[in-house]
């Protein structure tokens, strides 16, 4: 909103109003405002949650210090959501299709997570929202994002189209069989392309996955493959973030690192000069997502003020599903979703540890009559807890790994 006010003032030559034209300036304001908002109004939200006795119900798993967390206010994800949405509304261009999608993502998954927490806290149902309804909600968001990205005329990538032409002077001279001159024409095109890391020609089209249908049919059905991939990624990453939210500050800090990385990728992808220098896909108008990323970073850092060990508030599914969905959609819209296994490696490993544990237990129980385990407990962070590692040490070491994975993700821009 403030962007449009200062844009009007800039037309009137109001001193300093032109600063709002710069993405870097608005991003700086967004992250500062988001941190201030989440820390100051976060304290009031925590007090409100305490008065309403919205506390965490802890199942005794025999973990050190676990029962001390009983009664800690949950649903703190409301702090994160508010600290993202308000700065974005103030400093971003609200007619930008990518900003609109990110706001829808935040509110959509925030509502699903809130409903899940509400059922757990107020209706005293420990299971919360059933898994199938969560999945349906995530599929619904995937359909909205996928169809919008495919159909919207505002969603394009800029390509250099090779054109074969004859030199004008050669044509005037009437010379036959003249050499063809290679030229390039810049065009904004609709495409279901994405970025493949570590490859020199690092762009691939989802149509290639159905190439066996023939050239024409594969282009026709590429949108379906793209939408299926979008749904899968949103579901996987949002559930991965939810699974990681088991120690004080673990999911929050990891998400802040991921958000900063995606902000950098959004900036270079939306800047024609950096995209050309790095030889990566240029996606017009995605630079505005840097403001959203800045608000996301500020919200998670501000929430970490209260969520660090020992936590004064938990984000609950209201927060974990939301931050996971935001990360997934942000990666998808800048066509960097195939970097998610690297960038979100913490989420991936946490998810895999649960899948491996459950799968191996069922297999050995069927095979040997007695279930066996790979880890002492899953998700993986609980394995280290049982081994005797202090909770803060586990969290900080996971952050360190997350930073290393973030650096590797950035490095893929040049390593091919």
What does the pLDDT read at residue 170? 43
b or e along 202-233 (b: 16 or more beta carbons within 10 Å of the residue's beta carbon)? beebbbebbeeeeeeebeeebbebbbebbbeb
Q: Could you tell me how far CA 329 lies from the centroid of its own chain?
A: 5
Which parts of 122-154 fold into alpha helices (H)? 131-151
Q: Please tell me whether residue 310 adopts helix, strand or coil conformation.
A: coil
The string of DSSP letters for 268-288 reads HHT-HHHHHHHT--B-TTGGG
For the chain, give every domain's residue range. Answer: 23-155+192-411, 160-189
pLDDT, averaged across the chain: 88
What does the pLDDT read at residue 88? 97
Quickly state the pLDDT bin for 174 (edges 50, 70, 90): very low
Measured distance CA(92)–CA(22) in Å, rounded: 11
Say whether pLDDT at 164 is over 70. Answer: no
Say whether pLDDT at 211 is over 80. Answer: no
Mean pLDDT to the nearest integer, 317-325: 96
Measured distance CA(197)–CA(400) in Å, rounded: 22
pTM for the structure as a whole: 0.91
What does the pLDDT read at residue 252? 97
Measured distance CA(246)–CA(15) in Å, rounded: 49
For 107-121, 164-178, 285-299, which range has the lowest pLDDT when averaged over its residues? 164-178
Q: pLDDT tens across 341-381, in order?
A: 999 999 999 999 999 999 999 999 998 888 999 999 989 99
Measured distance CA(129)–CA(43) in Å, rounded: 27
For 47-51, 259-263, 283-287, which range has the lowest pLDDT when averaged over its residues? 47-51
User: Which residues have a Cβ under 8 Å from the Cβ of 339 and sit 6 or more positions away?
Assistant: 195, 197, 265, 331, 409, 412
Q: How far is the CA of 117 from the CAs of 120, 319, 379, in angstroms?
A: 5, 10, 20
Mean pLDDT to the nearest integer, 248-256: 96
What does the pLDDT read at residue 177? 47
Rounded to 10 deg, the angle between the 316-333 and 97-121 helix axes is: 160
């Amino acid at each position: 909103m403030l962007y449009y006010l200062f844009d009007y003032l800039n037309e009137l030559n109001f001193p300093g109003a032109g600063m709002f034209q710069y993405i870097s300036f608005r991003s700086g304001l967004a992250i500062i405002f988001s941190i201030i908002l989440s820390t100051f109004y976060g304290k009031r939200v925590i007090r409100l949650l305490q008065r309403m006795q919205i506390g965490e119900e802890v199942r005794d798993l025999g973990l050190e210090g676990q029962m001390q967390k009983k009664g800690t206010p949950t649903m703190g994800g409301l702090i994160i959501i508010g600290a993202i949405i308000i700065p974005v509304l103030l400093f971003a261009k609200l007619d930008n299709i990518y900003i609109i999608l990110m706001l829808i993502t935040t509110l959509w998954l925030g509502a699903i997570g809130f409903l899940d927490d509400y059922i757990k806290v107020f209706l005293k149902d420990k299971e919360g929202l059933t898994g199938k309804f969560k999945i349906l909600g995530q599929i619904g968001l995937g359909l909205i994002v996928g169809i919008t990205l495919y159909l919207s005329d505002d969603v394009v990538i800029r390509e250099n189209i090779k054109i074969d032409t004859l030199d004008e002077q050669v044509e005037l001279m009437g010379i036959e069989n003249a050499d063809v001159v290679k030229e390039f024409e810049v065009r904004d095109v609709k495409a279901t392309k994405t970025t493949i890391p570590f490859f020199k020609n690092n762009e691939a089209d989802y149509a290639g996955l159905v190439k066996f249908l023939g050239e024409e049919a594969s282009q026709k059905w590429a949108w379906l493959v793209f939408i299926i991939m979008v749904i899968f990624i949103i579901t996987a990453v949002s559930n991965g973030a939810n699974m990681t939210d088991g120690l004080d500050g673990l999911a929050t800090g990891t998400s802040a690192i991921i958000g900063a990385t995606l902000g950098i990728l959004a900036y270079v992808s939306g800047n024609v000069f950096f995209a050309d220098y790095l030889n990566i896909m240029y996606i017009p108008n995605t630079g505005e997502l840097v403001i959203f990323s800045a608000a996301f970073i500020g919200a998670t850092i501000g929430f970490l003020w209260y969520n660090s060990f020992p936590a004064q508030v938990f984000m609950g599914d209201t927060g974990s599903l939301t931050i996971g969905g935001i990360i997934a959609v942000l990666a998808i819209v800048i066509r960097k979703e195939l970097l998610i296994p690297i960038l979100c490696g913490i989420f991936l490993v946490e998810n895999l540890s649960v899948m491996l544990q459950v799968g191996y237990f069922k297999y050995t129980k069927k095979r040997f009559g007695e279930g066996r385990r790979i880890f002492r407990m899953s998700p993986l962070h609980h394995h280290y807890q049982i081994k005797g590692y202090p909770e803060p040490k586990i969290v900080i070491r996971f952050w360190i790994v997350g930073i290393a994975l973030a650096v590797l993700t950035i490095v893929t821009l040049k390593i091919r």
